[in-house]
Amino acid sequence: CALPILVRVTGSVGGKQWPDITTKELVLGESLLNPGLMVSITFQSMVYGDFNKVYMDLKNTDLSLNLYDGHGNRMSVSEMKIYRMDNRSMMPLNMGRTEEFTVHATHFTLLEDAKHVMSKKWTCATPDSIVRDALQCVGATGMNDVAPAQPARDYMAEHIHPFQVIQQQCNVALDGNDPSFVHYMTFGKGMGGQPTHHFKSLRSMKTGAAVKTFTFRPGEVNINYNNPENRNKVMVFEFPCMFDYLTDLLNGVNETGVNINGLLTFNPTGVDIGQFISGLGNAMTGGCIPVANMKQSVTNKGSSKQDYGCPTDVESHLLTRQARMALLDRDKTALRLTLPWTPDVHAGDKIQFDWWDNDFSLMPDSGEFIVASLTHRSEE
């Protein structure tokens, strides 16, 4: 979703009170594929004034924002750190007395992840318990939404970053039999809301009712989107990718939705060497195997008690995750909406899109969608 906003912004950038500086553009983003948050602000500033601005002083300083539109919609952005400043250039205005630059900020936990590695062994631990330990390492205790996950497995983190630990748990975690866990962040809800780390499955995002319904009706013109009654009306929409059968096949799903990946497993103890072709048995004729992708993995199936460990259970999850994650690729986006500012919708939420025909019936492409990513944008 792209959400243009006309809002009033208050807050502080690096705790600085500099004169003769104005905000040109504000962009905030969150995505199911990003374990951090993105904020960028483009400023225009007077040069050659009586006040010297030392922009290096902004490095690693705090950024906080309060956004509201006068119609009850509010949003706060907190616990952000400025990590980059770029695109500083003189503007061809006022005889070269104005410059423009952009500062970028992210949630402090992403920087803490870059400053730490983990080295630890877990025995028969569930993925969610390991994820909680990794989030604690980056100071995210109390700001997380971690869903239960199975199976319990032996796991060792070998001097890797905490978010890498979480990603490895995403690759093996199961919600029932669904291997679609993702780690992502969202901004806080409302004023004073705290940014949150999420570890949950795409399957869980599909459950429950939609958090909001957005509508599009043909023939509506001159809509006042600042009117609270019109805040749920879609300004522009498109369907970037209705389907891509070739990509489905390359990711191991056939035309009926059946998984056609294959798996070769090897047990170092010699107990078991297995070949699994999901959904198709072990059919092979003349060396031609009906498999989209053949994966290989070490397993301890049948020997977990012998080696005093937990089953790795690769047979249950390794074949199916790839196709589910392919749905989140940017070029596979099913629906893209441009809306009036809607701060109470976040990545991972389910929304309803109602596209009405002229005869007041719903178009067949109406339905429920999971928000894979969204951008809040405000331009002066």
pLDDT at position 361 is 95
Determine the number of helices (DSSP H) and then strands (DSSP E) in the chain: 7, 21
Question: pLDDT-based confidence at 188, cuts 50/70/90?
Answer: confident
% of the chain exceeding 70 in pLDDT = 85
Helices (H), 119-244: 127-137, 162-170, 202-206
Look at residues 140, 65, 341, 121 and name the one whose alpha carbon lies nearest to residue 230: 341
Mean pLDDT of 68-78: 83
Distance CA 380, CA 377 (A): 10
In which band, very low, low, confident or very high, does the pLDDT at 2 lie, cut at 50, 70 and 90?
very low
**Per-residue pLDDT at 279:** 45
Whether the pLDDT of residue 225 is over 50: the answer is yes
**For residue 49, what pLDDT is reported?**
73
Asked if the model's pLDDT at residue 289 lies above 90, the reply is no
> Is the predicted pLDDT of residue 283 greater than 80, yes or no?
no
User: What confidence score (pLDDT) does residue 272 get?
Assistant: 54
Q: How far apart are CA 187 and CA 346, in angstroms?
A: 8
Least confident of 188-192, 207-211, 272-276, 320-324: 272-276
Residues composing the chain: 380
**Per-chain mean pLDDT for the chain:** 86
Summarize the confidence of residues 255-261 as an average pLDDT.
86
State whether the Cα torsion 157-161-166-168 is positive or negative: negative
DSSP annotation of 254 reads -
DSSP 227: S
- In this structure, what DSSP letter does residue 331 have? G
Quick one: pLDDT band at residue 53, thresholds 50, 70, 90?
A: confident
- Evaluate the CA torsion angle 142, 147, 153, 157 in order and state its sign: negative
**Secondary structure of residue 360 in the 3-state scheme:** coil
* pLDDT reading at 371 higher than 70: yes
Find the mean pLDDT for residues 83-92: 91
What tens digit of pLDDT does each residue of 151-176 get? Answer: 998 999 999 999 999 999 999 899 98
Question: Structure pTM?
Answer: 0.88
Summarize the confidence of residues 213-241 as an average pLDDT.
89
pLDDT tier for residue 3 given thresholds of 50, 70 and 90: very low
Least confidently predicted of 210-214, 323-327, 330-334, 350-354: 323-327
Whether the per-residue pLDDT at 139 is higher than 80: the answer is: yes
pLDDT for 34 equals: 94
The residue among 41 and 15 whose pLDDT is bigger is 41
Residue 315 in this model has a pLDDT that exceeds 80 = no
pLDDT of residue 239: 96
Residue 321: the pLDDT is: 81
Of 310 and 338, the structure prediction assigns the larger pLDDT to 338
pLDDT over 50 at 367, yes or no: yes
Q: What is the largest CA-CA distance in the chain?
A: 82
pLDDT at 107 over 70: yes
208 phi/psi in degrees, rounded to 5: 80, 180
Which backbone phi and psi does 111 adopt, to 5 degrees? -70, -35
Q: Which tokens go with 78?
A: 């907190």
pLDDT cut 90: percent of the chain above it: 51
pLDDT at position 9, please? 60
Residues 6 or more apart in contact with residue 256 via CB below 8 angstroms: none
